[in-house]
Amino acid sequence: MAFKTLSSKAAAALDKELMSTGAFSIDQLMELAGLSVSQVVYRVHPPNKGNRVLVACGPGNNGGDGLVAARHLRHYGYQPTIYYPKQSKNELYQRLAKQLEDLDVPFVDDFPTAINSTDHIVDAVFGFSFSGEVREPFPAVIRAMEETKLPVTSVDAPSSWNIETGPPESGLGSKFNPEFLISLTAPKPLVKHFKGRHFVGGRFVSPAIAKKYDFEIPEYQGIDQIVEVGPGGQRL
Amino acid sequence: MAFKTLSSKAAAALDKELMSTGAFSIDQLMELAGLSVSQVVYRVHPPNKGNRVLVACGPGNNGGDGLVAARHLRHYGYQPTIYYPKQSKNELYQRLAKQLEDLDVPFVDDFPTAINSTDHIVDAVFGFSFSGEVREPFPAVIRAMEETKLPVTSVDAPSSWNIETGPPESGLGSKFNPEFLISLTAPKPLVKHFKGRHFVGGRFVSPAIAKKYDFEIPEYQGIDQIVEVGPGGQRL
């Protein structure tokens, strides 16, 4: 049985629906999304394996998820460092950044240098709305993540991958293969090309919404906000 | 060593600070508070012990925490029922109620009847801002929780207890002794009179805030949003 994925367009419509008729605020959804990301990092790379984690945040919602995840990781005992070169003027993102500053989490400007003093990387650069070209200053970030031997956890998509068709055929990002991926709400079509350990998070979708958007809610266990699935999204 | 508690006044000031200089929105804080409550219920009364849970929600923030907890409990596989007789016109609470309706969670009008078909009760009626008198229609709710043999988990305070001095000396609430209590952010002075299992939740306080308000952040484990402490708040 082919498993169901959510196209970029469908994922955008789902988000919009959650925040209109679904009555969620973006603060709520981002809090739960970021919490899911932090639980994946804890699962695959607990702090006793090295508690330094570098979180690369893009300018949009994917970056916001990264900021929330970093806060939770700090509370779990990690030492996060944030790379967030295109800070949004959006009020929510500014608040998320302030919450990290209040926890003495450092923000750094130079990703390729920062990568030399971390144990784990969270790729929260681009999410399901990415298409087209990787704009400055992110090409160097993609390149560093492509070349590093450190484990990378990507949020919703390995950044630079096309949401529908996966890794670029050549050039920047074509050799970017993160070890870990967390799909938020539901896997996107690109997961067919993903070979690492794959999780689904975002335990807030109602059965009615899942039915409308034609995907299955995975079987979360206990109080977990995440569940591991096959690389392509298959039930394990 | 006497352990530190947070007076009603200090708790209100702390909340205000988190939402001003702390840069948190009430949506974020309530999401994390309600999540903590849901984790306590799962810990003390997992769904295989009976998955029906009756959540009594008051008109203020304590009730909002209950609504969020009920949503998470629904996702964990519980069958929550909500008693929420004084629905706030506040936009956030209306959204939290709508999120439950979308999960087919029933709202009931008659608490003393509902108590006969549940396995566990969450008392989210009054929180740290309670003082004075229990207003209608809540006296019957307090009385039912006083008389029931079912386990009750109270949020921040056993409802009807004075935040500083504990249970009323006589009359309504004087015999209300919930089995479980979750103190949000930090225990309030009433915990000196509490005899059951006691948890602290709300893993979002920065060390600087805890220092300013003169309490200790308990030692949360792993990714837990809650930690069990002594009845009075002592480290276990």
Instruction: Give the DSSP letter string of B76-116.
Output: TT-EEEEE-SS----HHHHHHHHHHHTTT--EES-HHHHGG
Model pLDDT for residues A26-73, shown as the tens digit of each residue:
999 999 999 999 999 999 999 999 999 999 999 999 999 999 999 999
Q: What tokens appear for A41 in the block?
A: 């990092």
Q: Name the average pLDDT for chain B.
A: 96
The percent of residues in chain B predicted with pLDDT above 90, rounded, is 94
| 8 Å CB contact of A223 and B99 | no
Give the pLDDT confidence score for residue B229 in this predicted structure: 94
Residue B221 CA, chain-centre distance (Å), reads 21
Model pLDDT for residues A178-232, shown as the tens digit of each residue:
999 999 999 999 999 999 999 999 999 999 999 999 999 999 999 999 999 987 7
Confidence band of A4 (pLDDT split at 50, 70, 90): confident
Which residues in chain B touch residue A92, judged by CB atoms under 8 angstroms apart?
Answer: 25
Q: Name the average pLDDT for chain A.
A: 96
Give the pLDDT confidence score for residue B1 in this predicted structure: 43
- Helix-then-strand count for chain A, H and E: 7, 8
Confidence band of A3 (pLDDT split at 50, 70, 90): low
Where are chain B's structural domains? 8-229
Tell whether the model's pLDDT for residue B2 goes beyond 60. Answer: no
- The Cα of A66 is separated from the nearest Cα of chain B by a number of Å equal to 15
Tell whether the model's pLDDT for residue B176 goes beyond 90. Answer: yes
Lowest mean pLDDT among A103-107, B23-27, B219-223, B231-235: B231-235
Tell me which residues of chain A have a C-beta less than 8 Å from any C-beta of chain B.
22-25, 27-28, 31-32, 35, 38-39, 42, 71-72, 75-76, 92, 94-96, 98-99, 102-103, 203-204, 206-209, 220, 222-223
The percent of residues in chain A predicted with pLDDT above 90, rounded, is 94
Q: What tokens appear for A170 in the block?
A: 């050549």
Q: Which residue has the higher pLDDT, A145 or A236?
A: A145
Q: Residues with Cβ < 8 Å from A30, sequence gap 6 or more? A: A61, A64, A65, A68, A92, A96
Cis, peptide link before residue B187, omega less than 30° from 0: no
Model pLDDT for residues B104-136, shown as the tens digit of each residue:
999 999 999 999 999 999 999 999 999 889 999
Q: Name the CATH topology of B8-229.
A: Rossmann fold (3.40.50)
Give the pLDDT confidence score for residue A138 in this predicted structure: 98
Tell whether the model's pLDDT for residue A149 goes beyond 50. Answer: yes
Tell whether the model's pLDDT for residue B7 goes beyond 90. Answer: yes
Give the pLDDT confidence score for residue B3 in this predicted structure: 64
How far is residue B70's CA from residue B65's CA, in Å, rounded to a whole number? Answer: 9
Entry pTM? 0.97
Tell me which residues of chain B have a C-beta less than 8 Å from any C-beta of chain A.
22-25, 27-28, 31-32, 35, 38-39, 42, 71-72, 75-76, 92, 94-96, 98-99, 102-103, 203-204, 206-209, 220, 222-223
Domain A8-222 in CATH 3.40.50.10260? The answer is yes
| 8 Å CB contact of A204 and B27 | no
Q: Which among A28, A98, A99 has the least Cβ separation from residue B27?
A: A28
Model pLDDT for residues A86-112, shown as the tens digit of each residue:
998 999 999 999 999 999 999 999 999
CB A212, CB B109: distance < 8 Å: no
The percent of residues in chain A predicted with pLDDT above 70, rounded, is 99
| 8 Å CB contact of A24 and B76 | no
| 8 Å CB contact of A28 and B24 | no
Tell whether the model's pLDDT for residue A2 goes beyond 60. Answer: no
Q: What tokens appear for A198 in the block?
A: 């794959």
Model pLDDT for residues B186-216, shown as the tens digit of each residue:
999 999 999 999 999 999 999 999 999 999 9
Please determine, for the modelled complex, whether the ipTM score is greater than 0.90: yes
CB B179, CB B197: distance < 8 Å: yes
Give the pLDDT confidence score for residue A224 in this predicted structure: 98
Q: Which among A31, A71, A222 has the least Cβ separation from residue B42?
A: A222
CB B68, CB B41: distance < 8 Å: no
Q: Which among A35, A42, A99 has the least Cβ separation from residue B23?
A: A99
Confidence band of A1 (pLDDT split at 50, 70, 90): very low
Model pLDDT for residues B92-108, shown as the tens digit of each residue:
999 999 999 999 999 99
